[in-house]
Amino acid sequence: MEHRRMAKRTIVTFVDDLNDEPADTTVSFGLDNQAYELDLTDKNAEELRDLIASYISAGRKVSAGRRSSGSAPKVAKPAFSGVDGAAVRAWAAGQGIEVSPRGRIKAEVIEKFRAAGN
């Protein structure tokens, strides 16, 4: 009897972090020396931009690596720095590891992901 290999396809779908609808874009922003990203529909991304537009127009652009004159402490990079959360979630699903579809991914899952050569 001949054994055939089965192909496996993993599909990653981004969902809006606010309403679980399919996301159209990822919005990055920073506040208090912390960087954030949200996957949003175009409508929610526009609402976010509208909400902070007056603050952005009143603020100063700061180039990467330059700080404002404040003495805020340096924020340590999180364990998942440089790792695509969607890729980790897809890999974990393929390994049978349960991971929440949103929010923080446990460091041990990320370590396993990296150890697998990803």
pLDDT at 18: 94
The predicted-structure confidence for 46-69, as pLDDT tens digits, reads as follows 999 999 999 888 988 887 665 555
Asked if 106 contacts 20 with a C-beta cutoff of 8 angstroms, the reply is no
Q: How many alpha carbons lie under 13 Å from residue 6 in its C-beta half-sphere? A: 2
Q: How far apart are CA 65 and CA 70, in angstroms?
A: 14
The predicted-structure confidence for 68-106, as pLDDT tens digits, reads as follows 555 454 544 455 556 788 888 888 888 888 888 877 888
Rounded to the nearest angstrom, the gap between the alpha carbon of residue 106 and the centroid of all alpha carbons in its chain is 14
Question: CB atoms < 10 A from the CB of 61, how many?
Answer: 6
Element (H, E) at 34: strand 34-40
